[in-house]
């Protein structure tokens, strides 16, 4: 008898490679697996699959919880940002409120010049506060532009070209690139 062990491995999915090298490689692999099997208990494929399933489930649940936490954090951050923006704007408008109170006090004393001066101060303070937030008045001089102007009326005007703005009924404003309110104008025919 020989000391060498000869094992033939038949795999249904493998090619019909029964060369001596392939058989020797398979035998070495089986002996290596047998040595590992002695070191650790035999593993059950079903138990392995269930363990992997549980691992994937826990990973998915962690990911779902992380996403829920992210969504809640993003919502809180958005609400906090909106609150800070409103707080900043209100802080800038408080002096305007003070100016209005002073104008009302001057009106109570019937000093017409002080009332007009107080209202002009209030308008200036309000315009400054809104300009610091990026508000710009839309220029309503020259040719009518339907992107930033709204024509309320067109009328014949002597000496004016057709499509030229002749009167501004209500000022228009934009915030950055967004038109908040178009300038309402009367246009020459």
Q: Does residue 67 lie in a domain region?
A: no
Q: Does residue 179 lie in a domain region?
A: yes
Proportion of the chain above pLDDT 90, given as a percent: 30
Q: Does residue 115 lie in a domain region?
A: no
* CATH number of 174's domain: 2.30.22.10
- What was the pLDDT predicted at 6? 56
Distance of alpha carbon 58 from the chain centroid = 30
Closest CA to 165 of 139, 138, 189, 142: 142
Find the domain containing 1 and state its range: 1-37
Number of domains in the chain: 2
Compute the average pLDDT of residues 160-183.
Answer: 88
The rounded mean pLDDT for the chain is 80
How far apart, in whole angstroms, are the C-alpha atoms of residue 81 and residue 87?
Answer: 10
Q: Does residue 25 lie in a domain region?
A: yes
**Helices 112-132, 45-108: crossing angle, 10 deg rounding:** 160
Q: Does residue 153 lie in a domain region?
A: yes
- What was the pLDDT predicted at 38? 47
**Choice among 34-43, 76-85, 101-110, 168-177 with the minimum mean pLDDT:** 34-43
- What was the pLDDT predicted at 36? 47
Q: Does residue 26 lie in a domain region?
A: yes
Residues near 160 by Cβ (< 8 Å), separated by ≥ 6? 166, 188
How far apart, in whole angstroms, are the C-alpha atoms of residue 90 and residue 77?
Answer: 20
- What was the pLDDT predicted at 39? 44
- CB atoms under 10 Å from CB of 189, counted, come to 13
Compute the average pLDDT of residues 17-23.
Answer: 60
Q: Does residue 33 lie in a domain region?
A: yes
**Choice among 37-46, 93-102, 149-158 with the minimum mean pLDDT:** 37-46
């Amino acid at each position: 008898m020989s000391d060498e062990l000869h094992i033939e491995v038949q795999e249904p999915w493998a090619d019909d490679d029964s060369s001596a090298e392939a058989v020797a490689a398979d035998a070495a692999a089986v002996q290596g697996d047998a040595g590992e099997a002695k070191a650790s208990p035999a593993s059950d494929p079903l138990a392995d699959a269930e363990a992997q399933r549980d691992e994937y489930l826990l990973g998915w649940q962690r990911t779902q919880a992380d996403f829920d936490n992210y969504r809640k954090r993003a919502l809180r951050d958005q609400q906090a940002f909106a609150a800070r923006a409103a707080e900043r704007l209100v802080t800038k408008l408080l002096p305007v409120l003070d100016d209005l109170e002073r104008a009302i006090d001057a009106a109570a004393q019937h000093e017409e010049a002080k009332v007009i001066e107080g209202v002009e101060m209030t308008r200036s303070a309000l315009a400054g506060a809104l300009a610091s937030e990026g508000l710009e008045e839309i220029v309503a001089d020259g040719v009518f532009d339907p992107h930033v102007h709204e024509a309320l009326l067109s009328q014949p005007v002597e000496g004016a070209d057709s499509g030229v703005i002749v009167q501004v009924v209500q000022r228009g404003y934009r915030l950055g690139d967004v038109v908040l309110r178009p300038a309402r104008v009367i246009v020459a025919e």
